[in-house]
Amino acid sequence: MPSNKSVSDAPIVQFTNCRILRDHQLQREDLWVREGKILNPEKLFFDEKGSADVQLDCKDSIIAPGFIDVQINGGFGVDFSLATDDFKSGIDMVSQKILSHGVTSFCPTLVTSPPSVYHQVLPQITVRNGGAHGAGILGAHLEGPFISKEKKGAHPEHCLRTFEAGAFQDLLATYGSLNCVQIVTLAPEMRRSSEVIQELTKRGICVSLGHSVANLSQAEEAVQHGATFITHLFNAMLPFHHRDPGIVGLLTSDKIPAGRRVFYGMISDGIHTNPAALRIAHRAHPKGLVLVTDAIAGMGLAPGRHTLGQQVVEIDGLNTYIAGTKTLSGSVATMDTCVRHFQEATGCSVETALEAASLHPAQLLGIEHKKGTLNYDSDADFLMLNDSLYVQATYIAGEEVWRQDVSGM
């Protein structure tokens, strides 16, 4: 073939002078992008005889896959668990603003709510690609209402539900539709949860265990029926006990079906999980750790009173409590902060910290062929970061969608 133009007229951009996170290592090579995808330069040179149309000097930045947040309840005054007339503009604003945190895809999360809220909100959530308008939406994460009363955390007790005779039909009636749903968090010790887990898994929906008093054998049974995730490990579950380690025991269980990996979310904000607990989990099962923010509407706002679904919460520094109590309710951490704290607390490599917010959530959702890596042919959703893991620029489909303003520095 005479030139790259015979394959595509789209410009080829070559990012130079960078270290790329690929195959679990930072590699000093260039990144080639065309039509929103990452190119294999060898094919470009040898098969197409092509070359770059544009070269960009990255000034020795780290280039890493974009972060994927699978548990975020809102931010900047927007609460995904509130049915409002301008819900769509709210979700648009959050997806735009989290670009500066390095998030290129996310799962808007709804906490336990009345059925009317699900029926109003879920039809307004559309799975969509990211771009200059904001981070991509991978589908909703429904956390509750099929959870334990004892471990409800910040979820309103009057909205909790159990599976009755209809089991899966009860769930459908509660949510109204599963069209845009990516993850459901439920308590596996509930009667009839096994058949619900099987039905959800059959539909390609990820089942997560959380807000639960399950013992280890109940948790293992849930995994055998298809559950693959643990919602914010250590939070809202029985504490680890040496004779029955509960859900936490899944990290080292020998009853996980062959070829299956259990992933677990961690809120690495320095508040929800003591650094020692973070280290224990990471050392026990490093390949399953998924960083989540669990951010609420108050993220990005001044301390004071905000909402989390049906509840009023109070932000005091980095702590968020249900108003008038000491019950933690989500976080105000940003994803890039969680990545930095995780690396600092565990002493893990830069590569490991970055993969916990990109590769692992992509593997959890089964989208690692296009997101969460910088492999050839995957989506060109990536970040430029400095050595301290501060985000300098965010790219989606190869286009710059956010850049740190250095003029005032």
The DSSP-derived string for 326-384 is --B--B---HHHHHHHHHHHH---HHHHHHHTTHHHHHHTT-TTTSSS--TTSB--EEE
- Which pLDDT score is estimated for 407? 60
Does the CA dihedral 12-22-103-37 come out positive or negative? positive
CB 303 within 8 A of CB 315: yes
| Alpha-carbon separation of residue 213 from 134, 242, 311 (angstroms) | 37, 15, 23
Reported in sequence order, the residue ranges of 123-282 that DSSP labels E, i.e. its strands, are: 136-137, 140-143, 181-186, 206-209, 229-230, 263-266
Task: Tell me the CA end-to-end span of the chain in Å, nearest whole number.
Answer: 48
The H-or-E segment that residue 63 falls in is strand 54-65
Q: What is the pTM of this model?
A: 0.96
Q: pLDDT tens digits, residue range 26-64? A: 999 999 999 999 999 999 888 888 889 999 999 999 999
Alpha-carbon distance of 112 to 154, in angstroms, equals 9
Is 405 catalytic? The answer is: no
How crowded is residue 386: how many other Cβ atoms within 10 Å of its Cβ?
Answer: 13
Structural domains of the chain, ranges and CATH numbers in brackets = 13-64+373-403 (2.30.40.10), 66-365 (3.20.20.140)
Annotated binding site for substrate: 154, 235-236, 243, 272, 328-330
Strands 289-291 and 12-22: unpaired
Alpha-carbon distance of 229 to 188, in angstroms, equals 12
| Alpha-carbon separation of residue 184 from 20, 50, 76, 260, 296 (angstroms) | 34, 46, 24, 18, 18
Annotated binding site: 143, 154, 211, 232, 235-236, 243, 272, 328-330
- Which pLDDT score is estimated for 150? 96
- Which pLDDT score is estimated for 7? 60
Annotated binding site for Zn(2+): 143, 211, 232
- Which pLDDT score is estimated for 49? 84
- Which pLDDT score is estimated for 6? 43
Spans of the chain below 70 pLDDT: 1-7, 407-409
Residue of 269, 294, 336, 381 marked active site = 294
∠ CA 253-256-260 to the nearest 5 degrees?
Answer: 130
Alpha-carbon distance of 204 to 136, in angstroms, equals 19
Strands 103-111 and 140-143: parallel
